[in-house]
């Protein structure tokens, strides 16, 4: 059987295969846990997060219904179609400045408050049925990285259990992760808002529950899985703690950091990943170059 066909032969592919061989030899199947970030690791995150497109559409609706909201930066940006404000808020967050992120979080929390979890899932599903990437011109459901999906299947064939651990919204990812990655909803760990139970239904609130990013990721992984992963894959500063957690245990481990350096087939950027690349150099993590290590990005 061919191995990782969409990965070019070379040191990166060899390191992955050798790690899996060691894990099969030395680690019991139930301990073969792999965790993957989502945005920028399993699917495209530029020129803006896919969830941000979903959110901006809702904020624009709210601003149109309540003109007073237009004085609030996220609603004003959404109404004008200025995605740069949102991108700047996220980049500043990854560099330690949460001033704009707090403002954005307030808008996020109010956007879908009052919906049942099923109603929210229906809206997410409808979004993915129609929405298209603004610059790549392909459905968002076709913006998953073929080499990473192939890696998921390769791990599964060797009795790994794969989880998503992302800063993205848990309930935004769950409706599409089975379809795109073969990862079921119960293995999706992400940021979330509070939920209330009444009359047989769970309803979203405007209260934050947690932001699954940075040092919170290992905490949430342990809380959900009850095991330390032996492999972790990410692409940004927000993934550093998760990668450290996966490689600090006993036995074989692998930290895989994806470098976005392919401006022709995807995007070329380092913003929000500088610290993680420094950590990779210092700690010996495996850095995968989209340009040099991947035969294809989206399977075209």
pLDDT digits (tens, 9 = 90+) for 236-250: 999 999 999 999 999
**Token digits for 158?**
């060797």
Q: What's the maximum distance between 2 C-alpha atoms anywhere in the chain?
A: 62
pLDDT in tens, the chain (300 residues): 579 999 999 999 999 999 999 999 999 999 999 999 999 999 999 988 999 899 888 888 888 888 888 788 888 888 887 777 887 887 787 778 888 777 777 777 788 888 999 999 999 999 999 999 999 999 999 999 999 999 999 999 999 999 999 999 999 999 999 999 999 999 999 999 899 999 999 999 988 787 889 999 999 999 999 999 999 999 999 999 999 999 999 999 999 999 999 999 999 999 999 999 999 999 999 999 999 999 999 998
Per-residue pLDDT at 292: 98
CA–CA gap between residue 253 and residue 246 (Å, rounded): 7
pLDDT at 5: 97
What whole-number distance in Å separates Cα of residue 91 and Cα of residue 236? 10
pLDDT given at position 48: 86
| Class of CATH domain 11-46+138-293 | alpha beta
Of 210, 228, 234, the residue nearest 286 (C-alpha): 234
Q: Give span(s): CATH 3.40.50.1000, the chain.
A: 11-46+138-293
Alpha carbon distance 231, 36 (integer Å): 8
Contact 117, 204 (CB under 8 A): yes
**Sheet with 231-234, edge to edge strand ranges:** 201-210, 188-198, 161-169, 33-36, 231-234, 254-259, 286-289
What pLDDT, on the 0 to 100 scale, is given for residue 9?
A: 97
What is the DSSP track for 140-189? GGG-B-HHHHHHHHHHHHTT-EEEEEEEEEHHHHHHHHHHHHS--GGGEE
State the Cα angle at 254 between 252 and 260, rounded to 5°: 170
What is the rounded CA–CA span in Å between residue 109 and residue 97? 20
Q: Which of 185, 211, 58, 76 is nearest to 123 (CA)?
A: 58
At residue 1, the pLDDT reads 55
């Amino acid at each position: 059987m061919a191995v990782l066909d969409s990965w070019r032969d070379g040191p990166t592919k060899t390191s992955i295969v050798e790690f899996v061989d060691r894990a099969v030899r030395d680690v019991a199947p139930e301990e073969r846990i792999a965790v993957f970030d989502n945005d920028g690791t399993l699917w495209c995150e530029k020129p803006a997060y896919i969830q941000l497109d979903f959110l901006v559409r809702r904020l624009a609706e709210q601003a149109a219904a309540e003109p007073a909201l237009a004085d609030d930066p996220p609603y004003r940006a959404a109404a004008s179609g200025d995605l740069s404000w949102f991108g700047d808020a996220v980049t500043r967050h990854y560099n330690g400045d949460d001033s704009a992120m707090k403002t954005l979080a307030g808008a996020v929390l109010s956007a879908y408050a009052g919906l049942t979890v099923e109603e929210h899932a229906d809206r997410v599903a409808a979004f993915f049925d129609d929405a298209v990437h603004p610059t790549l011109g392909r459905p968002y459901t076709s913006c998953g990285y073929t080499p990473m999906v192939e890696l998921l299947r390769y791990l599964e064939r060797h009795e790994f259990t794969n989880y998503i651990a992302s800063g993205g919204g848990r309930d935004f990812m769950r409706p599409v992760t089975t379809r795109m990655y073969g990862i079921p909803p119960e293995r999706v760990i992400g940021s979330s808002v509070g939920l209330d139970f009444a009359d047989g239904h769970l309803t979203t609130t405007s209260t934050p529950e947690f932001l699954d990013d940075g040092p919170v990721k290992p905490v949430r992984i342990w809380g959900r899985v009850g095991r330390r992963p032996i492999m972790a894959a990410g692409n940004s500063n927000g993934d550093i703690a998760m990668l450290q957690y996966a490689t600090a245990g006993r036995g074989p481990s692998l930290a895989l950091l994806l470098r976005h350096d392919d401006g022709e087939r995807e995007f070329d950027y380092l913003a929000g990943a500088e610290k993680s690349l420094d950590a990779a150099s210092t700690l010996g993590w495996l850095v995968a170059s989209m340009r040099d290590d991947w035969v294809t990005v989206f399977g075209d």
